[in-house]
């Protein structure tokens, strides 16, 4: 596929770093036309990647931007990856923290999906991958983050039911620890908390962003059309580690 107008279009949010950045590059290499939304455009953007600066916390501005993009040509895929993670304990979690996390982690997903939905329905084809987290199962000092990432799972299951007759699949990836810039800052190599985390992971390592991107590509594939409403935990075995005790 050399003509970009014939490539399936995929929108990726939070696309400038970490999982989003790896997904942009991986999908572009697989032949998709990737359009990424992020607060800033990365300095290593390639000619086959389209980045658009967007404040996803501005929900109506995001709706207008994504609607304009969808009016230019329909989208085959949507990867809702952008997220905000407050790291406060229960006693210090504010309503403002909850509202901010809800706006980006959940409501921005809704706005992007609604903007792309008419085109997917008309084409009777679509793939949606929403990024949740293992923290949806519970994680200390993550009240707002855990709550909203659990909401992503419930929301996705509902979308999967509503959109099945349109041949649009909706699935969730829930990563465990991933070697992103933010993770490396919060969990420096050799630090006691980092060593404790690695000891808890059966595979004894963290994931690389490209491993999450590979799973996203799998769920976008046309042959994944019978998979919908599912949550795939990519966490090195953390979600089953208690069974070893």
Residue 35 near residue 55 (C-beta atoms within 8 A):
no
Which among 88, 83, 94 has a CA at the least distance from the CA of 13?
Answer: 83
Would you say the C-alpha torsion 226, 228, 230, 236 has a positive or negative sign? positive
Residue 36 near residue 86 (C-beta atoms within 8 A):
no
- With a CB cutoff of 8 Å and minimum separation 6, the contacts of 61 are 54, 55
Chain CA centroid to CA 91, Å: 28
- Rounded CA-CA distance 153/171 in Å is 8
Which among 95, 77, 16 has a CA at the least distance from the CA of 49?
Answer: 16
32, 76, 145, 226: the catalytic one is 145
Dihedral angle over CA of 31, 37, 42, 48, nearest 10? 20
- Rounded CA-CA distance 243/245 in Å is 5
Query: Is residue 145 flagged as an active site residue?
Result: yes
Active site residues: 145
């Amino acid at each position: 596929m050399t003509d970009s107008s014939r490539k399936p279009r995929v929108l990726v949010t939070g696309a400038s770093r970490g999982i989003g950045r790896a997904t942009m590059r991986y999908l572009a290499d697989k032949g998709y036309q990737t359009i990424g939304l992020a607060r800033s455009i990365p300095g290593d953007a390639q000619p086959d990647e389209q980045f658009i600066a967007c404040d996803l916390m501005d929900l109506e501005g995001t709706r207008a931007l994504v609607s304009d993009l969808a009016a230019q040509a329909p989208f085959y895929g949507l990867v809702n990856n952008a997220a905000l993670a407050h790291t406060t304990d229960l006693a210090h979690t504010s309503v403002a923290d909850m509202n901010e996390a809800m706006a980006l982690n959940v409501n921005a997903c809704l706005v992007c999906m609604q903007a792309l939905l008419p085109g997917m329905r008309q084409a009777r084809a679509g793939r949606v991958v929403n990024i949740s987290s293992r923290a949806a199962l519970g994680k200390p000092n993550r009240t707002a983050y855990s709550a909203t990432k659990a909401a992503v799972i419930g929301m996705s299951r509902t979308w999967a039911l509503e959109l099945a007759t349109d041949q649009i699949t909706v699935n969730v990836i829930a990563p465990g620890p991933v070697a992103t810039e933010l993770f490396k800052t919060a969990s420096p190599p050799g630090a006691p908390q980092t060593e404790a985390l690695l000891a808890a992971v059966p595979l004894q390592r963290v994931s690389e962003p490209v491993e999450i991107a590979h799973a996203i590509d799998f769920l976008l594939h046309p042959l994944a059309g019978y998979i919908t409403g599912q949550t795939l935990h990519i966490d090195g075995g953390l979600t089953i580690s208690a069974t070893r005790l």
